[in-house]
Amino acid sequence: MQTNIQKYRTLALQFAKQWRDPRMIGLSLFLVTVLLITWSGVKAIDANYGLQRQISKLQQQNTVQKLSNDNMKLQNDYYSTPQYLELAARKDFGLAAPGETVLIVPRAVALAHTVDLPQPATGVAQKQTHKPAYQRNFDAWMDFFLHRTHTGN
């Protein structure tokens, strides 16, 4: 019966003999080559993905800029319309169309006849109006099923 050291020694010798075999050397070189090619492919795919993201981002920026340019063109076209010119003349120069009378009302008089808007509710009512959408939906269904007419939103 062999000792453990001798068993390991014989296994090591068998392993060394296997590695000296030309088929094993060729197989290991093939595996190393396959791993290197795979790694290179993964790096290329990652680089392409990064470049594709940059292209997509630049295309989106280009689209936004085109929309902005189109908006500016429409705005410039509006500024050259007779309607805008008439509104600008009325506002900036106080002009009127033929047959119209311009009335200038002092600011103090105009403000004296205004109505104050109600202030937003505070406290419990305000908290109820700022419920999330799912909570408002649930409350609405509960009102429906329980035949309630109003629960405070």
pLDDT single digits (tens) 43-65:
999 999 999 999 999 999 999 99
34 and 96 part of one domain: yes
**Averaged over 26-54, what is the pLDDT?**
95
Choose among 74, 98, 99, 96: nearest CA to 87: 96
**Averaged over 136-150, what is the pLDDT?**
87
Q: Each residue of 5-20: pLDDT tens digit?
A: 888 888 888 888 887 8
Tokens of 153: 């939103």
Residue 118 located in a structural domain:
no
45 and 79 part of one domain: yes
Please give the residue range of the domain that contains residue 139: 123-153
99 and 136 part of one domain: no
Burial per residue of 123-140, b for 16 or more beta-carbon CB atoms within 10 angstroms, e otherwise: eeeeeeeeeeeeeeeebe
Q: Each residue of 108-122: pLDDT tens digit?
A: 998 888 888 887 666
Q: Which helix (H) or strand (E) holds 76?
A: helix 22-79
State yes or no: pLDDT of 105 exceeds 80.
yes
In whole angstroms, give the CA distance from residue 62 to residue 133: 35
Average pLDDT in the chain: 86
54 and 127 part of one domain: no
Number of domains in the chain: 2
